[in-house]
Amino acid sequence: MGVTLYGFKGCDTVRKARKWLDDQGASYTYFDYRMQPLDPKTVDGWFRRAGWEKVLNRNSATFRELPEARKAALDEKVARQMILEETNLIKRPVLDTGKALLFGFRADAYAEALKGE
C-alpha cells in the first residue's frame, strides 16, 4: 500500500508534517482532499481501524459552528456523512502507513510509525 499523508495544503499542521516527512527522506504519497474528492471507502476504513470518534475533529471551528441539534444527533452514520460533506471535520493530518493510522502530527509518533517503512 505505501505511506499516505492526507490533509490540505492550507493547514499549518499538515505543512509541519510534510516538512518533517521530507526532512526525514520518507517516501509517501500526499493526498490533498480539498483538491480531490475523498473516497468514502477511505473514511470507512479509518472508522473501522480507529473509530469514528478519533477521526472527527470536535475542536474544529467547523464543528463548533454546527447547530446544537446536529451535534446532539451525532453517531457514526452522521459523522461519516458530515465528514464526506465537509473534510474540515477530519482531524488532520492523517498518516496511514497501512499498519499505523495516526491523526494529528507528533514527530515521535511519526518516527515510530515509520520504522521499517
CATH number at residue 54: 3.40.30.10
Number of domains in the chain: 1
Closest CA to 96 of 48, 53, 60, 63: 48
Mean pLDDT of the 12-29 span: 97
pLDDT in tens, 79-98: 999 999 999 999 999 999 99
Percent of the chain's residues with pLDDT above 70:
97
Q: Is the pTM of this model over 0.75?
A: yes
Q: Which residues are catalytic?
A: 11
Tell me 56's DSSP state.
B
Predicted confidence (pLDDT) per residue in 37-46, tens digit: 999 999 999 9
What are the angstrom distances between the C-alpha of 5 and each of 25, 41, 70, 77? 14, 16, 29, 24
Residue-range definition of the domain harbouring residue 110: 4-114
